[in-house]
Amino acid sequence: RPNKKLLDYYLSLFKVTYITLNKLAYKLKLLLVFKIYLIFYMSLLELYYYRASVTLKLLSLDVIKG
């Protein structure tokens, strides 16, 4: 890729620190290792959905094996 900073499509969970008045751009609290601009257009961001069922299945498999 031409830009090494954006190698991973989904990097992590980030806290939204500011929303513009028209709600089209969001400022995120990023780690210092990410040397990218802090404000993103809304179409570039996706909501995070916690998958409790996947976690529970993995835990139950560990209990059966152990």
Domain with 17 in it = 4-65
The predicted structure's pLDDT at residue 59: 46
Give Cα separations from 54 to 41, 58, 63 (angstroms): 30, 6, 15
Residue 66 has pLDDT above 50, yes or no: no
Instruction: Write out pLDDT tens, residues 29-52.
Output: 887 777 777 777 777 777 776 665
Residue 57 has pLDDT above 70, yes or no: no
Q: What is the pTM (predicted TM-score) of this model? A: 0.49
Give Cα separations from 58 to 1, 6, 42, 47, 49 (angstroms): 34, 30, 33, 23, 17
Structural domains of the chain, count: 1
> For residues 24 and 57, which has the higher predicted lDDT (pLDDT)?
24
